[in-house]
Amino acid sequence: MPLEFVSSGQDDGLGFRESTLILPAVSVGNAGQLAVDLVICALSMRHVGNLRARCFAPVVGSQPHVEPGTQPGTRSSGHLCLSTEVYACRDKHLVVLQIRSPILKGQRRQTCRDLLAWVKETGFQQVVLLSSTQAQMRLDQELSGPQERHLISEALLKKVGSWPKTAGCLAFQERPAYAGLEDGGQICLRIPGGGITRTLYQHLCAAGLPLLVLLTFCSDGDNIPDALRLASHLALWLPPLGHQDTKLPESKEQWKIPSSWKLLYGSGIPDSLF
């Protein structure tokens, strides 16, 4: 079953054409998903619908973002949280697909094919994928310095032409096909712990679509700092992508923390236990 956009109101998705799509990969530490939450809050993006998809595990929960005008600490009257949510900022031509559940076993390639078909059908101008990869698989030269990396499709490179020349914008390097065989082993694109990152990158590149992958090295644990760095890294790339008027914080101290993160590690230990 192909992906189908289901509007939460009057938005039919036709206005997404020529917009930039930002989405996360369900990857190690969930850094991409956390970074997407930061972007949604920073731009006060409006929830416009969901994607109907059978390849993601079903999930339902309470409103993850406090709606504008809702007082902190009160219950929002907004939508329910589902496995795939679509947010939009029309004046900035930005659309976000937030993915809140893992891909079902054996559905990874089909998911990439479905996402490719939806991107082409909707007419997105370009795609930005936020992801992460296992820190323990870094090469020796990657152990220090900035931990954010990027991959760029040929179609996007030809379209934009130049990229920010900062120390933090480093290309992701190919690595040995088998860990530990650095000398004389086969070199290829490996993104351990990256979920669908490599497969989606290959599918969109083969289709000639503009794609930028931003990823960070991290490990499972408290991944809020990783998400803050990844989101700040995204802010450096938006102007070259044609979003000069889209101002995102470039330092992690300036980001607005989503209200749903208050319970990211549970509700705390009840005093009644002591």
CATH number at residue 99: 3.40.50.10900
195: in domain: yes
Structural domain containing residue 201? 18-67+78-244
8: in domain: no
54: in domain: yes
Our count of domains for the chain comes to 1
Edge to edge, the sheet with strand 94-99 lists 4-7, 46-52, 84-89, 94-99, 20-24, 126-134, 211-218, 148-152, 170-171
266: in domain: no
What is the rounded distance in angstroms from the CA atom of residue 174 to the CA atom of residue 89? 35
Tell me the pLDDT of the chain (274 aa) as tens digits: 678 888 887 666 668 988 999 999 999 999 999 999 999 999 989 899 889 888 999 988 877 775 544 544 444 446 788 899 999 988 899 999 999 999 999 899 999 999 999 999 999 999 999 999 999 888 878 788 888 899 999 999 888 876 666 546 788 887 777 665 555 557 778 898 999 999 999 999 999 999 999 999 999 888 999 999 999 999 988 888 888 888 888 777 788 888 778 777 766 666 776 7
268: in domain: no
250: in domain: no
11: in domain: no
pTM over 0.75: yes
193: in domain: yes
Q: Are 196 and 112 in contact (CB under 8 A)?
A: yes
